[in-house]
C-alpha cells in the first residue's frame, strides 16, 4: 500500500510540479497551513481533517469551495456524501483484500447505523430540497457541531485529544467571531 501511495506521489509530482511552484504555495499560505494542520488532526483525532478545513475555508477565508466554484450547496452536499460512500467502500475492500476480518462490534455498529441511513438519507434529501440554501448551510454547521459534541462526550479520549479538541473549539469560535465582525461591517 505504501508503494502505491509513493508511486502516486511521484506521478503527481511529475505532472503538476512546475517551475514557480514555491510561489504558488507562498501565495496561498493559509490553505497550505490549514491542510498540514488538518492532516495532523485527521490522524490524531476521530474528527478528520474537515474539522479544520471547513471552518478555515468558510470563516477565515470567507469562502467555501461551493461559493468559490459557484456550486449549489445542496448538490455539493449530495456529491460529498457520494464521495464519502465510495471512499468508505474502497477502504473496506482494501482491508478485506489484505485479509483483515471485521470484529463483532463493527457489525453491531453497522446494524444500528443502517436504519438511520436508510430512513435518514431520504428525509434529509427531502428537507434539503424544500429548505433554502441558508437553512441548509446552518443545518450543516449544526450537525458538525453536534458530531463534535457527541465525540467529546461518548468516546474515551486521552488528555492530548481533549486539548486538541479544546484548541479547535477556540480557533473555530475565533474564526466565527471574526466572520461575524466582517458581516456586521459590510452589512
Arithmetic mean of pLDDT over the chain: 70
pLDDT at 90 over 60: yes
Report the pLDDT value the prediction gives residue 22, as an integer from 0 to 100: 63
Of 6, 68, 5, 2, the C-alpha closest to 31 is 68
Q: Report pLDDT digits (tens) over 18-55.
A: 666 666 666 666 666 666 666 666 665 555 555 555 66
CB-based burial, 108-135: b 16+ in 10 Å, e otherwise: eeeeeeeeeeeeeeeebeeebeeeeeee
Arithmetic mean of pLDDT, 176-187 = 63
Q: How many CA atoms lie within 13 A of 171 on its CB side?
A: 18
pLDDT at 93 over 80: yes
Arithmetic mean of pLDDT, 122-148 = 79
Using alpha carbons, list the distances in angstroms from residue 161 to 55, 56, 80, 169: 19, 20, 26, 12
Alpha helices, H only, 21-154: 21-27, 29-44, 50-55, 65-68, 73-97, 104-130, 133-154
- Cα–Cα distance, 90 to 1 (Å, whole number): 13
- Cα–Cα distance, 16 to 31 (Å, whole number): 18
| Interacting residues of 38 by C-beta distance below 8 A, sequence separation 6+ | 49, 50, 51, 52, 53
Looking at the chain, the whole-number percentage of residues with pLDDT higher than 70 is: 49
Report the pLDDT value the prediction gives residue 49, as an integer from 0 to 100: 53
Q: For residue 97, what pLDDT band results from cuts at 50, 70 and 90? A: confident
Q: For residue 149, what pLDDT band results from cuts at 50, 70 and 90? A: confident
| Of the listed ranges 15-29, 52-66, 87-101, 116-130, the one predicted with least confidence | 52-66
Contact between residue 49 and residue 39 where contact means Cβ atoms under 8 Å apart? yes
Of 130, 152, 165, the C-alpha closest to 44 is 165
pLDDT at 129 over 70: yes
Q: Please report, for the chain, the start and end positions of each structural domain, with discontinuous segments joined by +.
A: 1-6+20-136
Arithmetic mean of pLDDT, 74-82 = 66
Q: What Rg value do the Cα atoms of the chain yield, rounded?
A: 19
Amino acid at each position: 500500500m505504501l508503494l502505491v501511495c509513493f508511486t502516486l506521489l511521484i506521478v503527481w509530482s511529475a505532472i503538476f510540479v512546475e517551475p514557480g511552484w514555491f510561489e504558488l504555495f507562498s501565495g496561498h499560505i493559509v490553505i497550505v497551513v490549514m491542510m498540514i494542520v488538518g492532516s495532523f488532526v485527521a490522524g490524531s483525532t476521530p474528527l478528520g481533517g474537515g474539522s479544520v478545513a471547513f471552518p478555515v475555508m468558510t470563516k477565515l477565508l470567507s469562502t467555501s469551495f461551493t461559493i468559490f466554484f459557484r456550486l449549489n450547496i445542496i448538490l455539493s452536499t449530495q456529491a460529498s456524501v457520494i464521495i464519502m460512500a465510495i471512499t468508505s467502500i474502497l477502504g473496506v475492500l482494501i482491508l478485506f483484500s489484505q485479509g483483515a476480518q471485521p470484529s463483532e462490534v463493527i457489525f453491531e455498529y453497522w446494524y444500528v447505523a443502517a436504519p438511520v441511513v436508510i430512513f435518514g438519507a431520504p428525509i434529509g434529501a427531502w428537507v434539503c430540497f424544500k429548505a433554502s440554501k441558508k437553512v441548509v448551510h446552518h443545518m450543516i454547521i449544526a450537525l458538525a457541531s453536534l458530531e463534535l459534541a457527541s465525540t467529546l462526550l461518548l468516546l474515551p479520549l486521552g488528555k492530548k485529544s481533549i486539548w486538541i479538541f479544546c484548541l479547535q473549539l477556540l480557533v473555530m469560535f475565533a474564526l466565527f467571531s471574526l466572520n461575524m465582525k466582517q458581516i456586521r461591517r459590510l452589512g
